Amino acid sequence: MRTLRWAATAAVLLAAMAAAPRPSSPPSPADDPPGRPPASSPEATVLAILEEHGDGVSAGIWVGGPSGVPWFTLDPDTPFPTASAIKTAYLVALFSRFADALDSPPPGLDAALADDHPAMAPYTVSQRREIREALSEASVRRLGRVMMGSDPAPNHVYNAAASLATALLGGPEGMTAAILALDPSFSPISSRRYMLAPRNVTGDNEASASALAAVLGRLASGTVPGVDPATVEAIRGAIIAEDVAFGLEGRHHSKGGSLNSDPLTRVFSGWWEPPGSRPIVYTVMLSQPGPGALPRVEAGDRLEQTAERLTTLLLRAAEEASRDR
């Protein structure tokens, strides 16, 4: 069931941006009126964009401040496939586990790189060779930067770094437990498979928009429970950052996700630091059962365009609200 919530005024967004560090259970918006939003509102535009896209698309969206107060949500507590966007939570769990040795190779790395380890199963012989050449002596920091894309690497090395992180924390179940142990608001984030492993065997990697936003909000505020400030800063430093994104100036910290297998998946997530304003945290997750009438790659590109369109709309609306205070 689709659940749409919105704030009646910009005051809720401004309160979110100005608030103190995130509580474990984020509060709800001040107003939650029934029915469809006014035709001129961002909410109505979001629904219209999704209706225009069609093809059975579903969306989980959370936009708000780092304190955990949402300005706009759509099905925020429904689990959606994450694709690579789950790697932000992996990064937090990995660095917090090895906080005292970020610049050393972690114990267990060689075993995880072995041909018979399930983390390596999705890769060809030549790809495994390249993965070992790139990562066999990698420090924890290097693994984190490669899996986040901030240190460039071929796609198989990029994904293998996340699988190695998963193996080091005890496999998918161990990774899930490590993430949830950090903060109750990180639930539901579920690691069920190594990167590039089949999505329909042990289950897909999933998160709700609100849970992924909780991770991002913690990083935007610079405070993660049980993690020292220097390690939090190292986590933040491993995330891709740009000065312009979605046509908007200001520091953008982001991690996306993309899958063209069924269900097609696109995720935009991160936090934006507009000039002169508090950070805006966002998670936009789209899932489509199949490619519909289009070739699969074209269907994936179209889903990407819709996700980008929604993200741009909501970030612009958030920025305008902050300017109107």
Indicate the SS3 state at residue 241: strand
Indicate the SS3 state at residue 94: helix
Report the domain count for the chain.
Answer: 1
Alpha helices in 31-189 (DSSP H): 42-53, 87-97, 109-112, 125-135, 140-148, 155-168, 171-182
Indicate the SS3 state at residue 274: coil
Range of the domain at 303: 4-323
When mean pLDDT is compared across 2-6, 42-46, 118-122, the lowest value belongs to 2-6
- What's the pLDDT score for residue 39? 45
How many residues can be counted in the chain?
A: 325
- What's the pLDDT score for residue 320? 81
- Is a pLDDT exceeding 80 seen at residue 22? no
Compute the mean pLDDT over every residue in the chain, rounded to the nearest whole number: 89
Nearest alpha carbon to residue 167 among 107, 125, 212: 107
Q: What is the DSSP letter of 131?
A: H
CA distances (Å), 78 to each of 36, 112, 137, in order? Answer: 20, 32, 39
- Is a pLDDT exceeding 90 seen at residue 235? yes
Distance CA 161, CA 105 (A): 13
Distance CA 82, CA 79 (A): 9
- What's the pLDDT score for residue 35? 39
Distance CA 274, CA 246 (A): 12
Nearest alpha carbon to residue 238 among 134, 158, 121: 158
- pLDDT tens for 129-166 read 999 999 999 999 999 999 999 999 999 999 999 999 99
Distance CA 185, CA 77 (A): 11
What share of the chain in percent tops pLDDT 70? 86
- What's the pLDDT score for residue 321? 74
- pLDDT tens for 64-77 read 999 999 999 999 99
- pLDDT tens for 87-103 read 999 999 999 999 999 99
Mean pLDDT across 171-181: 98
Band of pLDDT at residue 28, cut at 50, 70 and 90: very low
- What's the pLDDT score for residue 3? 52
- Residue 242 CB contacts under 8 Å (≥ 6 apart), including other chains: 251, 252, 254
Band of pLDDT at residue 42, cut at 50, 70 and 90: confident
Describe the crossing of helices 171-182 and 87-97 by its angle, rounded to 10 degrees: 80
- pLDDT tens for 262-319 read 999 999 999 999 998 889 999 999 999 999 999 999 999 999 999 999 999 999 998 8
For residue 25, give the CATH number of its domain: 3.40.710.10
